[in-house]
Amino acid sequence: MNPLTGLYGAGIALRNTLFDRGVLPAMRLQQPVVSVGNLSAGGSGKTPFVIALGELLKERGVRFDVLSRGYRRQTRGVLVVDPAGTAAHFGDEPLLIAQKLGIPVVVGESRYQAGRVSEQKFQTQLHILDDGFQHRSLARDFDIVLLTAGDFEDRLLPSGRLREPLSALRRADAVVLPGGLAAEHPALRGKPVWRIRREIALSQVPPSPIVFCGIARPEQFFEQVRAAGINPSAEITFRDHYAYDQNSVQGLMAMHRERAAGGFLTTEKDAINLGPLRSGLEPLAVATLRLTIDRPADLVDTILARIANRKPRS
CA 153 to chain centre: 21
Tell me which architecture the domain covering 3-196+293-308 has in CATH.
3-Layer(aba) Sandwich (3.40)
Burial readout 220-244 (b: 16 or more C-beta within 10 A, e: otherwise): bbbebbeeeebebbbbbebebbbbb
Domain boundary assignment for the chain:
3-196+293-308, 205-282
* 86 contacts 95 by C-beta, under 8 angstroms: yes
Q: Quick check: bond before 158 cis, omega within 30?
A: yes
Alpha helices in 21-68 (DSSP H): 46-59
Per-residue pLDDT 10s for the chain (314 aa) are: 688 999 999 999 999 999 999 999 999 999 999 999 999 988 889 999 999 999 999 999 999 999 999 999 999 999 999 999 999 999 999 999 999 999 999 999 999 999 999 999 999 999 999 999 999 999 999 999 999 989 999 999 999 999 999 999 999 999 999 987 877 888 898 999 999 999 999 999 999 999 999 999 999 999 999 999 999 999 999 999 999 999 999 999 999 999 999 999 999 999 999 999 999 999 999 999 989 999 999 999 999 999 987 766 65
pTM above 0.85, yes or no: yes
pLDDT of 285 reads 98
Termini Cα distance of the chain: 48
pLDDT of 134 reads 97
pLDDT of 310 reads 73
* 244 contacts 267 by C-beta, under 8 angstroms: no
Task: Report how far residue 56's alpha carbon sits from residue 294's, in angstroms, rounded to the nearest whole number.
Answer: 12
Q: Quick check: bond before 232 cis, omega within 30?
A: no
Q: What are phi and psi of 115, to 5 degrees?
A: -65, -40
